[in-house]
Amino acid sequence: MVWGGAMNMSPADDLLIRVERTLDLDSEGQLVASVLSKKAAAGSTHVVIDIPTGPTAKVRSQADAQSLLRGLQLTAHALGLTLHGLISDGSQPVGRGVGPALEALGLRVLLAQDGLEAVERLQDDPRAIDLVLMDLTMPRMDGKEAFQAMRRIRPDLRVILSSGYNEQESLQSFLGRGLAGFLQKPYTLEALRTALRKALEP
């Protein structure tokens, strides 16, 4: 059971913790309130949310992820927050999402739901993007296809590949193609920072 008083976490969490109930997974509304109340309490104005989705993640289906993202967007708007959301491959553990990590590094981030949208965003303004951090496994267009399409648009584009598979398996299709780096999931914030720094070096 969860019971008792507040824990001085955030207003929404304190209210939820005061409610005596059988311990179970948070409802969608509770999850939205918990995440965004922390951001608002911290004084954030822009929020990047990564929603890992899959059989081993907290959000199991694309439909559930889309519903959660809509709830986050509506609530963020009501709180005066600018929110960008990404539904990603859930093969990495929950809590290791790349969106919050990039936000923490102070980067300006453009998000794409899948490989095809990433290519379309690059096509819209090829010089607006300095670096792409891309998953190997994505819906509609996978990492290999997206990489090839991006390089046709901009041959000098720097791309870091990320995957839950090991580096040797993941890079077989990319040998000699000039990837800027590889990150194996799960990875730490320090590993992400190091990969970004190396990839962005002149």
Identify whether 140 is part of a domain.
yes
Identify whether 31 is part of a domain.
no
Identify whether 117 is part of a domain.
yes
pLDDT at 8 over 60: no
Identify whether 106 is part of a domain.
no
pLDDT at 150 over 80: yes
Q: For 75-127, what is each residue's pLDDT tens digit?
A: 988 988 888 777 776 654 333 456 666 766 677 777 777 889 889 989 988 88
Give me the number of domains the chain comprises.
1
State how far the Cα of 88 lies from the Cα of 109, in Å rounded to an integer: 15
Handedness of CA 192, 195, 200, 202 (dihedral sign): positive
Q: What percent of the chain has pLDDT over 70?
A: 75
CATH of the domain at 117: 3.40.50.2300
**Owning domain of residue 186:** 112-202
Q: Which residues are catalytically annotated?
A: 26
Identify whether 195 is part of a domain.
yes
Which DSSP state fits 25? P
In the structure encoding, which two tokens stand for residue 64, read together? Answer: 């559930």
**Radius of gyration over every alpha carbon of the chain, rounded to an integer in angstroms:** 18
Identify whether 15 is part of a domain.
no
Identify whether 136 is part of a domain.
yes
DSSP 52-98: EESTTSSB-SHHHHHHHHHHHHHHHHHTT-EEEEEEEETTSPTT--H
Identify whether 133 is part of a domain.
yes
